[in-house]
């Protein structure tokens, strides 16, 4: 028996948008973190947040928030670990691109053009903006994961043991508390024309909260805008949900040895000590062809 489905005019192929809506003056910062749950799409979950794909699918630029490598290197030395930042970011960017491809095809009903992805990445490599509070939060997330990784490895814990999920829950709780405090304090730092200034995340009026649109200069001629509150709120939502998954045992966390198997986190060797012990990351050296 043949069943005929009637397609809504709003969702028909012929009425699909030609591209995802995006605003040219809308700034799009994205950072990366270690998630503790995998999915069918993200088998190795180095994850971008926010999942802001419109700039990617339109070939515009994204600001990649890089952490404080100096701070992380000191921590890595203390923990006796090393991290391959190039592999970490390459995997995160790969996950970001694959997610964008899927959503683009779902909405536009066409494959995302390879040349558009290359254009997006080249444009993104030219962006040179520092937002101190965003650098700080992504550094904190990476640092807390590395501490958790070290504890789990030292104790010889695996996903079948209660202590394993206890450590992961502690990690998620720390990120939740940290991010919630930033939101409650309603203040972050941005850097503009060499000087650092404080801005509000939101305005409160009659019991309602209105996220602030923050202007930031790209150069002497170009001014962009972004809404930092939404970034912190996304991070808070992600880790709050991870806490629920752990507490209610709705999903089994990944085995953290996945990071070792993928050449991202390893034990610190004598060779690493002699060479500065940790690998910094330069976006300009990333070979995007590896993930296309």
Q: Could you tell me if 212 and 200 are in contact, meaning their C-beta atoms sit under 8 angstroms apart? A: yes
In a domain, 184, yes or no: yes
Q: Can you give the pLDDT at residue 6?
A: 41
Structure tokens at 274: 């002699």
C-alpha distances in Å from residue 8, one per residue of 3, 15, 58, 107, 108: 16, 10, 26, 14, 15
State yes or no: pLDDT of 274 exceeds 50.
Answer: no
Domain containing 58: what range? 23-280
Q: Can you give the pLDDT at residue 200?
A: 96
Burial 252-271 (b: 16+ CB within 10 A, else e): ebbebeebeeeebbeebeee
Q: Which of 78-82, 119-123, 265-269 has the lowest mean pLDDT?
A: 265-269
pLDDT tens by residue, 94-114: 999 999 999 999 988 899 999
How high is the mean pLDDT of the chain?
87
In a domain, 292, yes or no: no
In a domain, 126, yes or no: yes
In a domain, 189, yes or no: yes
Number of domains comprising the chain: 1
In a domain, 82, yes or no: yes
pLDDT tens by residue, 204-245: 888 888 999 999 887 777 888 999 999 999 999 999 999 999
State yes or no: pLDDT of 277 exceeds 50.
Answer: no
HSE on the CB side for 253, CA within 13 Å? 30
pLDDT tens by residue, 118-148: 999 999 998 888 899 999 999 999 999 999 9
pLDDT tens by residue, 195-215: 899 999 999 888 888 999 999
Q: Can you give the pLDDT at residue 192?
A: 79
Q: Can you give the pLDDT at residue 223?
A: 86
Q: Can you give the pLDDT at residue 2?
A: 35
In a domain, 180, yes or no: yes
In a domain, 211, yes or no: yes
15 band by pLDDT with thresholds 50, 70 and 90: low
In a domain, 13, yes or no: no
pLDDT tens by residue, 148-206: 999 999 999 999 889 999 999 999 999 999 999 999 999 999 987 778 999 999 998 88
């Amino acid at each position: 028996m043949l069943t005929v489905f009637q397609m809504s005019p709003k969702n028909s192929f012929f009425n699909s948008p030609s591209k995802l809506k995006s605003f040219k003056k809308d700034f799009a910062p994205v950072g990366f973190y270690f998630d503790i749950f995998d999915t069918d799409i993200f088998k190795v979950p180095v994850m971008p947040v926010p999942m802001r794909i419109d700039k990617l699918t339109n070939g515009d630029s994204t600001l990649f928030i890089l952490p404080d490598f100096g701070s992380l290197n000191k921590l890595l030395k203390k923990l006796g670990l090393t991290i391959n930042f190039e592999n970490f970011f390459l995997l995160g960017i790969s996950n970001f691109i694959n997610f964008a491809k899927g959503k683009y095809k779902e909405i536009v009903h066409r494959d995302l053009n390879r040349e558009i992805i290359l254009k997006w990445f080249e444009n993104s490599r030219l962006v040179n903006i520092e937002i101190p509070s965003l650098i700080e939060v992504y550094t904190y997330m990476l640092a807390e994961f590395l501490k958790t990784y070290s504890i789990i490895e030292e104790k010889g814990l695996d996903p079948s043991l209660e202590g394993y999920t206890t450590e992961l829950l502690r990690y998620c709780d720390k990120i939740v508390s940290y991010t919630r405090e930033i939101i409650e304090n309603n203040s972050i730092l941005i850097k503009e024309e060499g000087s650092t200034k404080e801005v509000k995340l939101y305005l409160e009026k009659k019991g309602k909260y209105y996220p602030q649109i923050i202007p930031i200069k790209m150069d002497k001629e170009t001014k962009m805008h972004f809404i930092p509150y939404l970034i912190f709120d996304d991070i808070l939502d992600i880790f709050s949900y991870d806490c629920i998954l752990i507490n209610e045992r709705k999903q089994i966390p990944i085995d953290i040895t996945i990071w070792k198997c993928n050449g991202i986190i390893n034990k610190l060797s004598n060779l690493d000590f002699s060479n500065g012990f940790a690998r910094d990351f330069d976006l300009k050296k990333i070979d995007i062809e590896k993930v296309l």
